[in-house]
Amino acid sequence: MDQAASKNRYPARVPLAIKPLGVLASLAVARRNLLALIPELVTHQPMVSGRTATRWHMVASPEALRIILKDRVENYPKSDVTKLILGPAIGDSLFVAEGAHWRWQRRAAAPAFAPRAVEALAPVMSAAAEAASARLRTAHGRASDIHAEMVTATYQVISDVTFTGGEGFDRAAIHRAIDSYIAQTAKLSLFDILGLPGWVPRPARLRSGTVVRSLKQLADAAIAARGQVAPHAVPDLLDLLTGAEDPETHRVMTPAELRDNLLTFIVAGHETTALTLAWALYLCAFDPVVQARARAEAQAVLGPRAATVADLSALPYIRQIIDESLRLYPPAGIVSRTAQAPDTLLGREIRAGDTVLLPFYALHRHHALWPDPDRFDPDRFQDPSRIDRFAFLPFGAGPRICIGASFALQEAVIILATLLARHRFAAVPGREPVPELILTLRPTGGIWLTVTPAF
């Protein structure tokens, strides 16, 4: 197929590395885009191993992923790199803790993410959908950066459900601090994921950095302010975590643990969901037939109102689009683990200390698992029971699966359905986004779409 035809047929993708790269070449590529470090081979083979500074294995086999994430999960804790990057901002919180310290925090936070609790948060999501829709209306006829719009929408949701009422909570300041933290860490993470030697600057620098200090101060101030107000009728995340108690030990969170976990939810929760929505809208603009079908579904169910939690089961095609976006552009494009003890995976030797990379981006485009994998086709998810549980891992799996998965999916469906019912999205010629892995899988330069009324 010539380049122009293939361009039309497939949405934005990154050419993967054709041959394994040495340390210097890897560095050069990683400066541009970490995705390009994933060997093309990983989309054809179950596992590719190599050595940059440490021994590493990229695993794209459902069978081996089940072992790493579930069956022998204790042998594959989160990598030292993950801790180095995220620790300075979010401490030893749920996302990075291990063993007993992880377990009790997970148990304590679980009620906040139980189905009933997540459903109760839906009105906040519908309100954010309304607000995003109103902003887009003022931009009708012009090109808008949809990624930036979606970050605003999902940040509104996470800050509202974290601190209802916003007392003592400087939303804009926290958002700015998180953005600069991600920008700073991203540069380091590229090197650290490669397992490069000690001369590479380490995040220790960040620990004392003003960004992290101010982020923590802002969150502490918000938590302290909370002590002075009456409890809310519908408890928010801060209420739920403050009241959270380990059912076994009856331990509650210290103020520092509370703060680290709240920051975790804000950092882990809003950017990932914004990316899901932004890529979904990009894909709808890429394929107007899919967009028209989605709009017909959303308009029939919603009429002029915003989607609510009661509508979710009547919006199956919108949900399929979200799943297909998560397949093609998984916000957590790659995660990593460090092997603790020798093991054998698919007949290959794993040594203690080896880095085990789980490249979800490549798994989701694996030729043995997905027919014509780079093609956008939401109908792949018409019958989810036909998809191998360990072939589609946007939220991970096993005990460390994303605690916010149903929160994110509910939010994404509510916002996408509301926006598609009211607006039409079209690609801007010459502004094709480039997927780039910077902690999360982001569109370099934004996602520019022209928005017009749908009625």
Give the residue from 28, 77, 76, 16 showing the smallest Cα distance to 52: 28
Which range, of 57-65, 127-135, 238-246, 264-272, touches ligand HEM by CB under 6 A? 264-272
Residue 408 touches ligand HEM, criterion: CB under 6 A: yes
Kindly name the residue from 162, 402, 407, 440 that is annotated as catalytic.
402
Nearest C-alpha neighbor of 86 from the set 189, 170, 11: 189
How far, in Å, are 148, 198, 330 from residue 441 at the CA level?
Answer: 14, 26, 7
* Helix (H) or strand (E) segment spanning residue 145: strand 143-145
Contact predicate 349/386, CB 8 Å: no
Least distance between ligand HEM and beta carbon 19 (Å):
28
Give the one residue of 282, 395, 425, 448 binding ligand HEM; rule: CB under 6 A.
395
- 272 touches ligand HEM (CB under 6 A): yes
Please confirm, yes or no, whether 395 is among the known catalytic residues. yes
Contact 423, 149 (CB under 8 A): no
CA gap 65, 396 in Å, rounded? 10
402 is catalytic: yes
350/403 with CB nearer ligand HEM: 403
Residue 3, burial from CB neighbour count under 10 angstroms (0-12, 13-18, 19+): exposed
Q: Nearer to ligand HEM by C-beta: 335 or 415?
A: 335
Q: Which is nearer to ligand HEM, 164 or 264 (CB)?
A: 264
Name the one range near ligand HEM by CB under 6 A: 47-55, 132-140, 389-397, 427-435.
389-397
Compose the 90-129 pattern: x for residues touching ligand HEM by CB under 6 A, - for all others: ----xx----------x-----------------------
CA distances from 150 to 275, 389, 438 (A): 7, 28, 18
Cβ proximity to ligand HEM: between 395 and 425 the closer is: 395
**Residue 332 is a binding residue for ligand HEM (CB under 6 A):** yes
Give the pair of three-digit tokens for residue 374: 């780079």
What does the per-residue mask of binding to ligand HEM show for 63-82, with x meaning CB under 6 A?
---------------x----
Q: Which is nearer to ligand HEM, 43 or 273 (CB)?
A: 273
C-beta closer to ligand HEM: residue 85 or 350 = 85
What are 412's strand-pairing partners? none
Considering the rule CB under 6 A, would residue 155 count as an interface residue with ligand HEM? no
What's the token pair of residue 360?
């979800």
Q: How many CB atoms lie within 10 A of CB 252?
A: 14
DSSP letters, 334-389, are -EEEE--S-EEETTEEE-TT-EEEE-HHHHTT-TTTSSSTTS--GGGGSSGGGS-T
Q: Is 373 near ligand HEM (CB under 6 A)?
A: no
List the one residue out of 315, 216, 214 whose CA is nearest residue 258. 216
| Near ligand HEM by CB under 6 A: residue from 147, 259, 364, 400 | 400
Stretch that binds ligand HEM, among 117-125, 183-191, 216-224, 270-278 (CB under 6 A): 270-278
Q: Tell me: does residue 403 bind ligand HEM (CB under 6 A).
A: yes
**Nearest residue (CB) to ligand HEM, 373 versus 394:** 394
Is 284 among the residues known to form the active site?
no
**Phi then psi for 19, rounded to 5 degrees?**
-125, 155
Q: Which residues are catalytic?
A: 272, 395, 402
Binding site for ligand HEM (CB under 6 A): 78, 94-95, 106, 264-265, 268-269, 272-273, 276, 331-332, 335, 394-396, 400, 402-404, 407-408
